[in-house]
Copies of this chain bind each other. A is one copy, B any other.
């Protein structure tokens, strides 16, 4: 059974990949994006995770969303600010419509290989204030995919977006990942993309908090 898994190199998508495998998807096609992100190093982590998990294929799609500007993750003229896990506004690391773009391309890939399942590791619980991590967005996107593909609109083989962590905390994801044998030492979360995680950006703070809550040491540190 085929599945397309969005793999960023971070921990959420690594757990999503192992979860897909545990659910009987024995032909996993991983897809990653080189979208002009400052933390390009995550792509090397994605490759290592995909290889260790034994995926059927791993596509890296190059796409320069950075040309549009507007986010500190892609625009090197904007600083990545230090994190604040209690923030409620939209942070400067937001990349406009990123998950929509990624899911659309994943849908194109899924249709080209006739996979009916896409996995994405978003969570609306422990997220950085991103609107495109919410269940209502996932539902709307799945509806659009099934109107805009032959599989969904003509062939009676609808495509499902599996977002298994949408209502889970990152700590719960880590606990699940530990059970599934995810090698978290291969994952990368830092937005700044230096040689080592900075420890102070939003993403590093969320990761540290989650490992503490889950009761594990972070093997990447």
Task: Say yes or no for A98: interface residue by CB 8 A criterion.
Answer: yes
Question: A77 contacts the other chain (Cβ, under 8 Å)?
Answer: no
Q: Within 8 Å CB of A94, what residues of B?
A: 150
**Binary contact track A131-147/B, C-beta < 8 Å → 1, others 0:** 11010110111011111
Among residues 97 to 112 in chain A, which have CB atoms less than 8 Å away from a CB atom of chain B?
97-101, 103-105, 107-112
CB-based contact A62/B63 at 8 Å: yes
A131–B209 CA distance with the chains assembled, in angstroms: 45
With A147-B131, A148-B131 as known contacts, state yes or no: A108 contacts B97, CB within 8 Å: yes
Tell me how many chains of this kind the complex includes. 2
A65 within 8 A of B: yes
Chain A residues with a Cβ closer than 8 Å to the other chain, count: 48
Q: Does A164 sit at the interface, judged by CB under 8 A? A: no
Q: A64-B62, A100-B148 are in contact. Are A112 and B69 (CB under 8 A)?
A: yes
Which residue on chain B has the smallest CB distance to residue A133?
Answer: B148
Q: Which residues of B contact A137 (CB under 8 A)?
A: 144, 147-148, 153
Contact residues in B for A56 (Cβ distance below 8 Å):
none
Residues in chain B near residue A59, CB distance under 8 A:
67-68
Task: Report which of B69, B71, B100, B111 forms a contact with A96, defined as CB distance below 8 A.
Answer: B111
Contact residue among B62, B100, B147 (Cβ-Cβ distance under 8 Å from A108): B100
- Chain B nearest CB from A134 CB (Å) reads 7
* A90 lies within 8 A of chain B by Cβ: yes
Please state if B148 and A132 are interface contacts (CB–CB under 8 Å). Answer: yes
| CB atoms of B108 and A68 under 8 A apart | yes
